[in-house]
Amino acid sequence: MITATTSESIKDIQADAVVIGISGKTLTGAAAELNEATQGGLQSLIDSEKAKTGSGKVTSWLEPQGIQASTIVIAGLGEQPTAGDCYKAGGAAAKALAGTKLDTVAFYFPGIDGVLLESAVAGSVVGCTGQELHKEKPSLHPPNQILWATGDGAAVNAGTKIGDGVNLTRELVNQPPNYIYPESFANRAAELAELENVTVEIWDKEKLLAENCGSLLGVAQGSDFDPRLVILRYQGNNSENPSMAIVGKGVTYDSGGLSLKPSDGQKTMKCDMAGAATVVGTIKSIAELGSPCHIIGLVGLVENMISGNSYRLGDVLTSRNGKTIEVLNTDAEGRLVLADVLDVTLGLKPDRIVDLATLTGACCVALGLDIAGLFTNNQSWCDQIIESAAEVGEEVWQLPMTKHFSEQLKSKVADLRNIGAGRWGGAITAAKFLEEFVDSTPWTHIDIAGPAFADSAKSYIDGGASGTMVRTLVNIARGL
């Protein structure tokens, strides 16, 4: 799919469909021109509320008179559009049109600035791309070309690259576990080395053993697939130390281990590497944008399976930093993987760390399925993430990190236990466990267990992986 700009008027452009963004009931720019060409038809649809103008709402108008295109999609931007509104509008319009194979779709979003335009473009790239990677006849078909009626080619270019990063994350998560496992994921990540200023380092099992990554290796030992750790470096400036490290949990399939999940709980466990996929998608977008920053991404890749060699309840694992961990639930494996990856990260001396993980069902209980949970040891760093998420329209909410939750992680036989003492506050005790492996480096943990994967579609995006937090992290990186 190609994105480009156009200067053609909405009534004259030769396209299979046009999308007109509407904010409120006063028509300006291309919307006013379209209304005139259709002899007041657009205004009539809006006034009669047959066309919805609320954020993310779309209305199809077939065979309109007075223009060349055979289909118009009216995309609601809301009264005072935000970047999130424009992302949803672009996505919803593109998704509505993707049910049919089209050559060219032209978007006209009058009255929005470059920041909002960038989000709308990203939304359109994501919205028309589905999860049906292995269907002979998928239901969504990206058009061959998306045109944006603007002179701001930089915003269109940037929005496309951000959308592509989100889609890479989505594709990695949506691939089934017989396609994406530690080695194949690492190979996909290695492809980013083709981008300017990106280098990729992959640790295999032997290297992980040599580096004493006993916590990660303990989780991996029940699988026939050997683990990997991938280090992605993007150096867009000459700073010695990375300004940010992005760390991701990469459990490519999670059976729960000996603490076996029920069948329904395993059906979507291909998504348990969404944190790692977010790292890869983010680095791709940052590199393609050419952002003048120094960023590293690290992902720990394992499969949590059952065999005669699986790690057991009661085992004591020795992590890379020397802390010993009593295993009391093999389905609390993501934190064991991240423990070693975070220690590797510290050795690279980043100014700040953010990790992403589909870590706990408890976070879904607390915040639902659309909001990511934030946990931090440094409030100013967490506030920066909150602000960035708000700017791009992604939902996050900070949860407490009260010291007494650490008491639940004390073990009688080791330095730590891998679960809390009871069922309450599970997302917090998981975060407190991770905090044991970041020292004093500013760190924020993002639990994306809720928003990373959806069973059903939304108006602006297909079901399956969402690519959540890629846009937030790219936004942060561009400001460093």
Instruction: Look at the block and give the residue holding tokens 């915040």.
Output: 367
Task: Please give the DSSP secondary-structure letter assigned to residue 135.
Answer: -
When computed from its CA atoms, the radius of gyration of the chain, rounded to whole angstroms, is 23
CA distance 83 to 100: 27
Pairing of strands 17-22, 104-108: parallel
Q: Identify the active-site residue in 261, 323, 458, 478.
A: 261
CA 367 to each of CA 18, 88, 253, 373: distance values in angstroms, whole numbers, following the listed order = 38, 21, 24, 7
Decide: residue 180, CB within 10 A, 0-12 exposed, 13-18 middle, 19+ buried. buried
Segment (H or E) for 162? helix 153-174
Distance CA 104, CA 18 (A): 9
**Which tokens sit at 255?**
């059976």
Q: Half-sphere exposure of 174 toward its Cβ, with a 13 Å CA cutoff?
A: 21
Q: How far apart are CA 61 and CA 73, in angstroms?
A: 6
The amino acid at residue 367 is: L
Residues 6+ positions from 126 with CB-CB distance below 8 Å: 91, 94, 163, 166, 167, 170, 460, 461, 467
* Cβ–Cβ < 8 Å for 53, 22: yes
Quick check: is 335 catalytic? yes
In the sheet that 71-76 helps form, which strands lie side by side, from edge to edge?
2-6, 145-149, 104-108, 17-22, 71-76, 58-62
Q: How far apart are CA 461 and CA 458, in angstroms?
A: 5
For residue 261, indicate whether it is catalytic. Answer: yes
Residues 6 or more apart from 185 whose CB is under 8 A from it?
A: 172, 228, 230, 250, 252, 273, 276, 299, 301
Kindly report the length of the chain: 480
CB burial readout 257-288, b (16+ within 10 A) else e: bbbeeeeeeeebbbbbbbbbbbbbbbbbbbbb
Between β-strands 453-454 and 464-465, what pairing exists: parallel, antiparallel or unpaired? antiparallel
Q: Spot the catalytic one: 57, 95, 335, 471.
A: 335
CB 242 within 8 A of CB 348: yes
Beta-carbon count within 10 A of 199 CB: 13
Active site (catalytic) residues: 261, 335
